[in-house]
Amino acid sequence: MPEPGPTIEQVFREESGKIMASLIRLSGSFDWAEEALQDAFISALSSWPERGMPANPTAWIMTAARNRLVDFARRDRTRANKESALTYDIELRSQGNNAPEDDAMHLPDDRLRLIFTCCHPALNQEAQVALTLRTLGGLTTPEIARAFLVPEPTMAQRLVRAKRKIEQARIPYETPPPEQLPERLASVMSVIYLIFNEGYSATTGSALIRRELCQEAIRLARMLSQLVPDEPEITGLLALMLLQDSRRDTRVDDGGNLVILEEQNRSRWDRAEIDEGTRLVEAALRRHRVGPNQLQAAIAAVHANAASSAQTDWKEIAALYAELAAISPSAVVALNHAVAYALAEGLDVGLARIDALGASDLANRGKLLDYHLYHAARADILRRLGRNIEAAAAYREALRLAANEVERAYLTRRLEEVSSALR
C-alpha cells in the first residue's frame, strides 16, 4: 500500500484554508475550528493508511472536523445555544443528501470572509499577517515564527491575542459593504504583499521557509482574484508577484551574493511565471482602471520580457514610473523614475534629476537621503559615467546606511571596483 503521508500533507496545504473558513463560520470560534481541523487530520493519518484514501479527501476531512465541532459543542455546556445552532446547521446541510462527502463540495466559499476578518484594520498588521498564514495558509505556528524570525512563544502569543480580540471586540466575519470594500481590499492586498516580500527579500532564515512564503502569497492572491474577479488591482498584485518570483533562482549566486537585475542569468528565469504574469497584467490594464499594483507589474513585465539587459525598453519603464508617480507619489517612486530616465534619456540628465531629488529632500527634511538605495543609485550612475571618485564616495555613503548583509556585500564589491579603477 502506498504511503498516504505526502497526500495528507497535500490536502492540508491546498485545502485547509477552505475547510478552516467553513469551520470558523459554523462554530464562530477560531480555536474550535483549529482544534477540530487538527483532530480531523490526525484521524486521517491513522485511518487512511488502513482503509485507503477516500474518494474525496477534502470532504472526508471536512466531515470529520465537523463531527468534532459537534462533540465540542455538546461538551461545552455553557454554549448551549451555540450547540443547537451548530447541530441545526449541520443537519440542514445534510438534508436530502445521503452522501455526506459530496456535501462538503457544495459549501459556500467562506475564505473571502475569513481573509477580511484576518486582515481587519482593527488588528495590527503583524497580527493580520500571522493570522492569515495560520488560518488560510495552513502554516503552523512554529513555521510562521521561523519565517518572521521571532521566538515561537512570541508568535503563539501574537496569534492568541489576535484571536481573543476578534472574539471580544466581535470583529465581524463577513465581506465588507461596497463603500468599505476598496479600503478593506487594500488592507488584504498589503498583507499578501508583505508575506511575499518577507519571503522574497529576507536574506536570513531558511531558504525553504522563504520559498514557502512566496508561494503562499501567490496562492492567496490567486484565491482572492478568483473570489473578487472584477478588481484589476488584485490581478495586478498576482501578476507582480509572479513576475518577481520568476527571478528567484538568479537573484543570489552560489556564494550568497546579491546579483543585480542587469547581471542575472535570464535563461534561468521562470518562463511559465513570466508568461502568466504578463498575460495577467495585460488583461488587467485593458480594463482601464489603472492602479499602483498594475503599473508595478507592468514595469516588472517589461524587464522580464527583455531579451537582454541592454535591450530593456527604458523609455517604456520611465513612462510607467511617471504614471505611477502621478497616482501614488513617493520619494522612492521618484527615485526609480529618475534612474529609468537616466537609462532612457542619458546618464547626465538622469543624474541631474537624482541630485535634484536629493536637494529637494534636504530642503523638505525628507527621508530619501537616509535611504541607502538613493546613494546606491547615484553611485551606479556615476560609475557608468566613469566618475569613479564621486562613485566611491556615494558607495561609501550607501554602505554606511545599508543594513542588509547581502546588499552590503554588493556595495562593497562595487566600491572596490571603482576604487581599483582609481589606482
Partner 1 sequence: MRYMLLIYTNENAEQTPEQRQQIIEGHGRAMEDATLRGFLRGAEPLFPTSSATTLRALNGKTILTDGPFAETKEQLAGYYLLECESLDDAIAIARQIPTACGGGDGCVEIRPIRPFSAPAGLTGVSRAGHA
Q: Which residues bind partner 1 (CB under 8 A)?
A: 120, 122, 168-172, 176, 180
Sign of the Cα torsion 282, 286, 287, 293 reads positive
Q: Smallest gap, in angstroms, from Cβ of residue 158 to partner 1?
A: 19
Q: Smallest gap, in angstroms, from Cβ of residue 172 to partner 1?
A: 4
Whether the CB-CB separation of 27 and 77 falls below 8 Å is answered with no
Nearer to partner 1, 172 or 229 (CB): 172
State the DSSP H helix or E strand holding residue 327, giving kind and residue range, or none if neither.
Answer: helix 314-327
Q: Smallest gap, in angstroms, from Cβ of residue 193 to partner 1?
A: 24
Nearer to partner 1, 170 or 288 (CB): 170
Burial tier of 272 (Cβ tally within 10 Å: 0-12, 13-18, 19+) = exposed
Nearer to partner 1, 168 or 204 (CB): 168
Q: Smallest gap, in angstroms, from Cβ of residue 116 to partner 1?
A: 10
Nearer to partner 1, 149 or 169 (CB): 169
Residues shown for the chain: 423
Q: Which of 138, 3, 2 is nearest to 58 (CA)?
A: 138
Q: Smallest gap, in angstroms, from Cβ of residue 165 to partner 1?
A: 9
Q: Smallest gap, in angstroms, from Cβ of residue 181 to partner 1?
A: 12
d(CA 91, CA 100): 11
Q: Smallest gap, in angstroms, from Cβ of residue 173 to partner 1?
A: 9
Nearer to partner 1, 176 or 205 (CB): 176
d(CA 292, CA 289): 10
- Phi, psi (degrees; rounded to nearest 5) at 165: -65, -40
Nearer to partner 1, 166 or 238 (CB): 166
- Residue 258: strand pairing partners: 252
- Phi, psi (degrees; rounded to nearest 5) at 178: -50, -40
C-alpha dihedral over 67, 70, 72, 74, to 10 degrees?
A: -140
Decide: helix, strand or coil at residue 346: coil
Q: Which of 148, 256, 163 is nearest to 205 (CA)?
A: 148
Q: Smallest gap, in angstroms, from Cβ of residue 121 to partner 1?
A: 9
Q: Specify the amino acid at residue 423.
A: R
Nearer to partner 1, 81 or 267 (CB): 81
Nearer to partner 1, 123 or 297 (CB): 123
Q: Which of 42, 39, 45, 44 is nearest to 66 (CA)?
A: 39
Three-state SS for 17-36 is HHHHHHHHHHHCCHHHHHHH
